[in-house]
Amino acid sequence: MSKTSNQMWGGRFADQPDAIMEAINASIGFDKRLAAQDIAGSRAHAAMLAATGIISDSDAEAIREGLLTVLSEIEGGSFEFSTALEDIHMNVEARLKAVIGEPAGRLHTGRSRNDQVATDFRLWVRDQIDEAEGSLTRLIHALLAQAEAGAEWVMPGFTHLQTAQPVTWGHHMMAYVEMFGRDLSRVRDARKRMNESPLGAAALAGTGFPIDRHMTAQALGFDAPMANSLDAVSARDFALEFLSVASISAMHLSRFAEELVIWSSAQFRFVTLSDRFSTGSSIMPQKKNPDAAELIRAKIGRIFGANVALMMVMKGLPLAYSKDMQEDKEQVFDAADNWLLALAAMEGMVRDMTANVANLEKAASAGFSTATDLADWLVRETGLPFREAHHVTGALVALAEKTGRDLPDLTLDEMQAVHGNITASVYDVLGVHNSVASRRSYGGTAPDRVREQIARWKEAL
């Protein structure tokens, strides 16, 4: 082997790569994040090679100990990563050789970097899924606590961001519990589907060595080895599924973040965010800004961007491995980091925020929010068809609006002038508390219904 050429494939090469080649080719700058997974995969592989008699027990033991040394060097920060060694796989193997000598050269028997990286990356994504499961669960608990505290507080429900009907605070919080609950079930689904081992697919076609892929799969916590070696080294849909689950969840986070930005404004004052999750202004002393919410709202951009970017990387690739696929990792790393951070920040904001109950109630009564209750009353009590009741109510709203009042401020005489059959009992349905209490249909906003859903979720978690 020439001294100047590559120590892994120097047999065929006489020259060193150009510096630009090294710069575009090396992935060690980012795939060092896969070190723990890479070493776990190698340990499983070496143990299997010994168990199947492909390498000796003493070589396997030397490899095992050597890998533990390398791992502690990496964890302790003393490991020197080399760009010339391209990626985490070759960095670890080269260091193993320096630590244990000759047996290190037997580790790569019946294996390729193609199945190695596919295995490492799956293990890494699986860890993120487990993290996300914990983060989503904690966020749901924070929302449940808010819902429980405010199962009866009334606030305006909006459509088109225009006052629609009164709802309860608890009901609004529980809407997000449902969304993040589906995100939770999506990460669990994704985990199940991705939890198969590519290890032992080798370069693309499998290997002639009598390896035991079931053994390595089990050692790494996979449910089974992947059934097709070409697919095993080429598939990145597990990463894409992770990114799409993260994107949907980031979209949910973003919608809630948007509401918190609006709710915490001086015009709304629905909530007060804690100092711990707010920032001030360097020039305007009165300011308290919802920066965490704004940043959470913005995270969807990079997370969904990662999803699109990896989709584009993969869409034109013939089977099996192409170096294009090295571009899969940074996207997923960045998306995972930011999704988990956004989930944690949202959990903190939700735990800390205070609802301004009196203000919510005042806002709930404004904007003729009980007009539908009035129309429903006309249907129930006077037998009017709903369409006509809608029309009569519209006339009453117009009258109130013209005279600068709310619906409950209209006198019975004024109401009867619009429709003769209206009686004083109509005033009962014009109050916001009666309005929400009456919406007892399954999934409705009535406090009883909301409490049922809180209990169901607590049980489920």
Residue in 176, 304, 321, 457 binding ligand ARG, rule: CB under 6 A:
321
- Examine residue 326 and tell whether it contacts ligand ARG (CB under 6 A): yes
* Closer by beta carbon to ligand ARG, 186 or else 236: 236
DSSP code at position 87: S
The stretch among 97-105, 155-163, 319-327, 355-363 that binds ligand ARG (CB under 6 A) is 319-327
Q: 3-state DSSP call for residue 401?
A: helix
Q: Are 286 and 233 in contact (CB under 8 A)?
A: no
Here's the x/- map for ligand ARG, 204-223, by CB under 6 A: it reads as --------------------
Which residues on neighbouring strands pair with residue 225, listed in sequence order?
A: 197
Decide whether 62 or 85 has the Cβ nearer to ligand ARG.
85
Q: Is 113 in the site for ligand ARG (CB under 6 A)?
A: yes
**Window of 113-121, 304-312, 403-411, 438-446 that interacts with ligand ARG by CB under 6 A:** 113-121
- Smallest gap from residue 340 Cβ to ligand ARG (A): 22
Say how many CA atoms lie within 13 Å of 355 toward its Cβ: 25
- Show the site string, 76-105: x = touches ligand ARG by CB under 6 A, - = not: -----------x------------------
Question: What is the CB neighbour count within 10 angstroms for residue 429?
Answer: 21
114 or 168: CB nearest ligand ARG: 114
Q: Which is nearer to ligand ARG, 314 or 371 (CB)?
A: 314
Decide whether 9 or 386 has the Cβ nearer to ligand ARG.
9
Q: How far is the CB of 235 from ligand ARG (least distance, A)?
A: 13
Judged by CB under 6 A, the residue of 39, 46, 48, 117 near ligand ARG is 117
Angle at CA of residue 409, ends 403 and 413, nearest 5°:
85
**Three-state SS for 73?**
helix
Instruction: Tell me how far apart the alpha carbons of residues 198 and 105 are, in angstroms, rounded to a whole number.
Output: 22
Q: Over 276-339, what HEC string results?
A: HHCECCCCCCCCCECHHHHHHHHHHHHHHHHHHHHHHHHHCCCCCCCHHHHHHHHHHHHHHHHH
Q: Classify strands 162-168 and 154-159 as parallel, antiparallel or unpaired.
A: antiparallel
Binding-site ranges for ligand ARG (CB under 6 A):
27, 31, 87, 113-114, 117, 321, 323, 325-326
